[in-house]
Amino acid sequence: MTPDTETDEGDVRFVRQLIGLDYAVRTNPVARAFGEALAEGRITGHRCPSCGLVYVPPKGFCPICTVPTGSEHEVAIADRGIVTSWTVLTPIQYAGQEEREDYALASLLLEGADGTVGQQRLVEVALDEIRMGLRVEAVWAPEGEREPDDRGYGLGTAITGWRPTGEPDAPADAYREHVL
């Protein structure tokens, strides 16, 4: 701690400096099992034993019924689904930014799940052709390059993106309850 930060007196000083931060996130058994399945090319969810809703990624509990869920409640989720909403991002070119072109992140309702998975990259589709109801399938990273998201929020790097299947769009009834 410098003298300037030990007192309320004196001018505030700012320092412009690029730094790198490495984070270590403690995982939990539910997130770990989910990540291990992803590494094997499987998406899993938990079905609440009380209300029957399926959560992906599994949380280890149903937030509606407040009952715990575990491996005995695991169900398989398809690696395909429909776009319920999306955002096109224009990356600001700050130092360290690796994105150069506009790209789209979407919320997806996967087959077998009752809630959407957010922040999923859409690939192999023109940005102006993205729409609600668009059917997509996962593009899996090669085995050995599938790093799970141990926080339990997303799909990590196991799936590099989602591309259109080319099938007819899902009807609005299929996603109207999931549009943010």
Interacting residues toward Zn ion by CB under 5 A:
48, 50-51, 62, 64-65
When the beta carbons of 50 and 119 are compared against Zn ion, the nearer one is 50
When the beta carbons of 61 and 140 are compared against Zn ion, the nearer one is 61
- CB of residue 55 to Zn ion, shortest distance in Å: 9
When the beta carbons of 69 and 120 are compared against Zn ion, the nearer one is 69
When the beta carbons of 48 and 155 are compared against Zn ion, the nearer one is 48
Helix (H) or strand (E) holding 80: strand 80-89
Secondary structure string (H, E, C) spanning 6-74: CCCCCCCCCCCCCCCCCCCCCCCHHHHHHHHHHHCCCEEEEECCCCCCEECCCCCEECCCCEECCHHHE
- CB of residue 44 to Zn ion, shortest distance in Å: 17
Q: Are 156 and 95 in contact (CB under 8 A)?
A: no
Burial (CB count <10 Å: 0-12, 13-18, 19+), residue 100: exposed
- CB of residue 48 to Zn ion, shortest distance in Å: 3
- CB of residue 65 to Zn ion, shortest distance in Å: 3
